[in-house]
Structure 1
């Protein structure tokens, strides 16, 4: 195991957050974050340490002086195969600097590989925590937090390593777990192939290599684009989007569609479906290579029932009526289409890496944007239904388009609320009004926590139950 101390960096309390890249993307202003328990504010330098774990994963530590005794173990999101994979210890530079100013030690690893790396990520994160303890001593408290796939890793750390943490914050996470994720990613692609490319040989699973995945991506993307030219094609696109609960407003660069503006909603969903196709095939092929086969199935799935539970059912019905087409006929076509079965060993692999039991020993807070097309907000319903100790879970929702598009203040407010729960033994200040007031005191960007209850997740899965 190798490490090197890079040196001290001095940061101020006032931090510019405009132009952020990464998860915390919404526009903002100056932020500050004093320690929520003891008011500790750092005045000295930050010691920066980099190193390599035995697995080959890299890690980084940023430890301010003085340190308030709390360690935040950050889990980063999905990194595609071949992409740069540096160690990360915060979702954005502005969040990092605000927390260092509050006296928090920030740590995290790269994980030993890229792609669907859950098998390596959890032990690499725990190993990072152990190295930190040997170098800097025992923390007063350790919190897990992460974004996107890292939110999923955070939840897995709390379920599988409860003795090492006192709580966690999962942001925009895959709270439905791995099996449910790949099952529901299959559903919109199955609908697009069935309704837009009837009879075509377009593999959706058992992809073998990226060449096969790329060919399927091209076929489905072309059919999706062609479908936008006709009312029926647009209605069918909306049906596919509804099976994945892709929201009408999913791009923060675009205005939010007015209620009942289903044409604009469908146009936004069609754009997002292009990403769903890519993720559902290219990223799937990488995950299948790890799992040793196909981890998804739609045998026995009733798509009419899924549509009835979808938050988008009114839009789908309206667009079919506008097209003068029969929604029931298309649902019958889906019901009669030959189904896809899973490879049991691949399902077992993904269940291990990673699906959830719902067993929590420590408090977990989750936050999610309502306009997330990559990880639709309904994933939070899946975990709410799975959790065995509901009193330990709090879920909060931000009305904004995009994946992980939280303001700095929204993230800091959620983290402070979690730490208050850890310190007091009870939840407080979790209403949207309280979270917005706290976020506004920490960041000049306008916060957008709202009262919201997501629709049911289309196909939930917990370990031991299907």
Structure 2
């Protein structure tokens, strides 16, 4: 992920968020993939008053707590509340136990929504790691806490960022009615989203891992016990992120300016950039994902087998593609693991409310072709008319600009309240009008259409 220079906070988050088209078929009638679910209405404790982050303290009051499943959460209520709630699903995901500081950092990053008059609520989720359905349940539980203990919003917008966009989309599919028969969410906003499902979105990280090993041969080293690279790491491996960074520094010298790298290091970096088609600034973050998050998926989500593979991939862009394709390690994804991972992370496209997306066309982490895959998913799920996609000229992932998000929220609400479906052209004009209030930063590209995902990431054999 490229560092976002907007604030020091966002720079810290630039590496934290570390994401094909299926066969065409006729649209299906709108129906959930299973019966609509509900989070059990447990007797949740009321949140307690807590100090707001410094950037919001003058204009809002904040509440925090820990829900019955163990997730921490934070709520911000602006003094001039417009009656609408933004329910936030964060990116990442982080590994390890949840920490309340996570929601504080999320609120600081998305303070523009509170400044624009929206209540904001975000959960840390009950656990770390790549588990989408559980995170969607935690987000819905937080909505219930808000309604039970804080206020009844006129409208609720479900917002997902990065990996959290898949959480929000999955939640909109899972939770379509409340116990009272109403819709829990009125609309969905997906920003910089990882939206091709887990069985497609991470293919390029498998490619990165094997091509890196072909070039560098130090992860693992020849003196270490070999293991299948598509498991990330063995369960008991003691490697840390600092250890991995040291190996990347040894082979690629990513911590040095290009001019200070050896010719061989420059050649390796260029090969990875040209073959995997990601910027050099993203290599470290994506290698972290292909190592530690892959291990989390295999060991904790898919029964010890890997859902990731690269059989059938034809790699292109290296100085010697024939040698690369002849020598690179090949792995076939385990069919049962793929099925388990798909059940948790893949999307049906059966979302019954308006969905608005935004993505920088040069997003270095969740690249823009993922949105083409999501459009196909929504078409196959019978929800094409409920989707509007927008794109901007930004080359960042964690945050685009202050005026972008209030513009999108307003467009969604007008769609819900008045039935006026937005267009990318209208959104671009509306954003320009909002710069006087929220500052410069509009960069919508109304005519942009992303290419298919397989134009960016090579097709492969699948079980």
Alignment TM-score > 0.5, same fold: yes
The reply on whether 1:364 has 2:355 as its aligned counterpart is: yes
Q: Identify the residue that residue 369 of structure 2 maps to in structure 1.
A: 378
1:74: how far off? 0.9
Equivalent residue runs for 1:36-435 within 5 Å: 46-64=60-78, 67-78=81-92, 79-81=94-96, 84-86=99-101, 88=103, 91-93=106-108, 95-96=110-111, 98-162=112-176, 163-197=183-217, 201=226, 203-206=228-231, 207=233, 208-211=235-238, 219=247, 222-225=250-253, 229-230=262-263, 234=266, 237-246=269-278, 269-291=279-301, 292-304=303-315, 307=316, 316=317, 325-326=319-320, 328-330=321-323, 333-334=324-325, 337-388=328-379, 389-431=383-425, 433-435=428-430
Distance in 2 between residues matched to 1:410 and 1:346, nearest whole Å: 38
Distance in 2 between residues matched to 1:135 and 1:99, nearest whole Å: 21
Q: Identify the residue that residue 432 of structure 2 maps to in structure 1.
A: 437
* More displaced stretch, 206-215 vs 180-189: 206-215
Distance in 2 between residues matched to 1:132 and 1:92, nearest whole Å: 16
Distance in 1 between residues matched to 2:229 and 2:207, nearest whole Å: 10
Q: Identify the residue that residue 312 of structure 1 maps to in structure 2.
A: none
1:187: how far off? 1.1
1:112: how far off? 0.8
Q: Identify the residue that residue 30 of structure 1 maps to in structure 2.
A: none
1:126: how far off? 0.8
Contact 2:133 2:171 in 1 (8 A): no
Secondary structure of the 2:280 match is helix
Contact 2:203 2:457 in 1 (8 A): no
1:183: how far off? 2.5
Secondary structure of the 1:277 match is helix
Q: Identify the residue that residue 27 of structure 2 maps to in structure 1.
A: none
What TM-score, normalized by structure 2, do the two folds share? Answer: 0.73
1:235: how far off? 5.5
Aligned positions, number: 389
* More displaced stretch, 449-458 vs 416-425: 449-458
Q: 1:6 aligns with which of 31, 49, 52?
A: 49
Q: Identify the residue that residue 3 of structure 2 maps to in structure 1.
A: none
The Cα offsets for residues 299-326 of structure 1, whole Å up to 9 and x where unpaired, read as 543324xx5xxxxxxxx4xxx6xxxx44
Segments of structure 2 that go 5 or more residues without pairing to the other structure are 1-43, 177-182
Contact 2:359 2:390 in 1 (8 A): yes
Distance in 2 between residues matched to 1:288 and 1:218, nearest whole Å: 24
Distance in 1 between residues matched to 2:149 and 2:97, nearest whole Å: 32
What TM-score, normalized by structure 1, do the two folds share? Answer: 0.72
Segments of structure 1 that go 5 or more residues without pairing to the other structure are 17-43, 247-268, 308-315
Distance in 2 between residues matched to 1:352 and 1:428, nearest whole Å: 32
Distance in 2 between residues matched to 1:89 and 1:396, nearest whole Å: 28
Contact 1:91 1:147 in 2 (8 A): no
The Cα offsets for residues 340-362 of structure 1, whole Å up to 9 and x where unpaired, read as 12233432332122111122211
The reply on whether 1:447 has 2:442 as its aligned counterpart is: yes
Secondary structure of the 2:202 match is helix
Contact 1:151 1:173 in 2 (8 A): yes
Contact 1:115 1:286 in 2 (8 A): yes
1:10: how far off? 12
Distance in 2 between residues matched to 1:143 and 1:443, nearest whole Å: 20
Distance in 2 between residues matched to 1:173 and 1:10, nearest whole Å: 26
1:144: how far off? 0.2
Contact 1:165 1:362 in 2 (8 A): yes
* More displaced stretch, 180-189 vs 434-443: 434-443
The Cα offsets for residues 243-278 of structure 1, whole Å up to 9 and x where unpaired, read as 5431xxxxxxxxxxxxxxxxxxxxxx3332122212
Contact 1:192 1:224 in 2 (8 A): no
Contact 1:115 1:283 in 2 (8 A): yes
